[in-house]
Structure 1
């Protein structure tokens, strides 16, 4: 009888200790889209209960009129969207803007990175900063030659103040994808590149997860029908060979974050690729792991076969809630708040 009671207690503990996600809020950032198309959102917490989101928007992806837009959320309400930067080079030349990434440093400086160029093979990195949570911005600054900044997902700041930027490149013929890291000082003034051996894998758009003992993990978009990973045991200076995870990936962007309780959270399209680039992007899930190796789906954000829900961004706010933004049918940006424990 005692053994049966013990077995029941162990089963109960296992059952109730499994991570779970509860929906707090789901909303679109704008009721009337300011542009015909938008994509590649990013989100940051400015202060308690105040957030900023950014994305690129214009007639269509790669259209020269595409610029970087922002909106702020104060006390649960999104402001009107406004464009803050464009890709105008001179009176006769204009390029589209791409993939903004917002990040607030430990000393309170707000960073906005984005790319400018006619395509992801030939774009270059740009940066703006703000000391007052985006009320005023610095002049636009082009990043040093060979430095692109974070390609899609947010940076990670080390305990010593240095900042790691997950980045990647695509060859002109589109056949070769490679990830790398870029590291800056705490003020994002000086940069250096950290190469990662990609072997035969084609990977881009990594995100950074944190573990104890200076251990980091990168999770990457791939063309291998799976999320691809690499590990570092020295704060990102050197990296293990790339390996496949057991997470499907239909050649679509993902994002991940480490929660304060140590749980790892990934937002991804849990399907395989199809004949067209958008195949597999109709379903968007949230998965949780305690060790970065064994993942469990805990929430389905979208599952609509005629839709496209992609390019998520994820953060944890001061109050412990998880905020996710993502592209909704290329027409809007959706904001979802979850409680994950």
Structure 2
């Protein structure tokens, strides 16, 4: 496959810090990933490190979100740059019936299998979950299979794998324009079968697109986008088998997707749009930040990724690679995907 070299926009050499903490974060890499992309618009990127130094990136792309020509596209990011996007999944049902694809999610299990989850359907209220797997780190993929009825796969953000091998997939359902609920899909057999675990479905809060954070062996936290102007949280003390009620975090959010990750040192990071929703809620996606926490209760902004006025910088994905660096991708005004690398240092 022909390789496209990355166009590097900025190499920041100064710390990015919004607090007086004893550690700081440096933005060491910042770039737009696609040059002459084979799609007009793209959105909903996802990342996974499959081998040290090699990251897979996927997103959906086509003429516009929700159009029938929207497919799933995959690239490799490594020391040589990024490969040209490869079409790896589509919504073709028959010769005369085709639906758009939505929200890919990449995940690699400790057993070595790489999963590509995505959705197919006319809209988020009627879509269904699809899956492809790779046993050679993304070089080749299985045929697409439809997930069982009632199982959608991770809706936007990556699953996690617990110490005992259990995979927890953060998911949600948009039942209608106003009724949003989140749940966990749990597998104890490497992703062969899934158990549906509701998360406070009696709540008045509307929540979707959860991320999972880990605090020790059995304590977990869900962070969700919501209709209530804040990032919402729920907690589990039994490894995700049961969950408490939703309540607000201190993080404001204009009903826009977030993503979070537990770092190797036990600290937590979330990428989020910080604006309060207003009459034009979409403008709340023009600012994008990273916040840090040690306990999931108190969050401190540690990096500004974007500080625009009317553009869209949204739907982030965040991972920590094996070398300790933090990789973040996000939608860049629907025209591209931006990739930022953060490194933690000491003041």
The TM-score normalised by the length of structure 1 is 0.93
Q: Quote the Cα distance in structure 2 between the aligned partners of 1:205 and 1:109.
A: 23
Q: Which residue of 1 aligns with 2:180?
A: 177
Give matches, 1:1-341, under 5 Å.
17-172=21-176, 174-198=177-201, 199-340=203-344
Per-residue CA distance 1:103-156 (angstroms, 9 max, x = gap)? 010011100000000000000000000000111111101001100000000001
Aligned residue for 1:30, secondary structure, equals coil
Aligned-partner SS, 1:71: strand
Secondary structure of the residue aligned to 1:118 is coil
Report the CA distance between 1:306 and its aligned residue: 2.6
CA distance in 2, matches of 1:218, 1:19: 25
Superposed structure 1 runs of 4+ greater than 6 Å apart: none
- Alignment partners' CA distance in 2, 1:328 and 1:93: 31
Indicate the SS of the match to 2:284.
Answer: coil
Tell me the CA shift for residue 184 of structure 1. 1.3
> RMSD of the TM alignment (CA)?
1.2
Quote how far apart the aligned CAs of 1:277 are. Answer: 4.3
Report if aligned partners of 1:33, 1:331 keep a CA contact under 8 Å in 2: no
Number of equivalenced pairs: 326
Structure 1 regions of 5+ residues with no counterpart?
A: 1-14
Deviation string 1:279-307 (CA, Å, 9 cap, x unpaired) is 20000000000111100001000111131
Q: State which structure, 1 or 2, has the greater radius of gyration over its C-alpha atoms.
A: 1
Structure 2: distance between partners of 1:204 and 1:328? 22
- Asked if structure 2 preserves the Cα contact closer than 8 Å seen for 1:97 and 1:117, the reply is yes
Return the alpha-carbon distance in structure 2 between the equivalents of residues 271 and 246 of structure 1: 12
* Larger deviation, residues 128-137 vs 69-78: 69-78
Q: State the 1:16 CA deviation.
A: 7.0
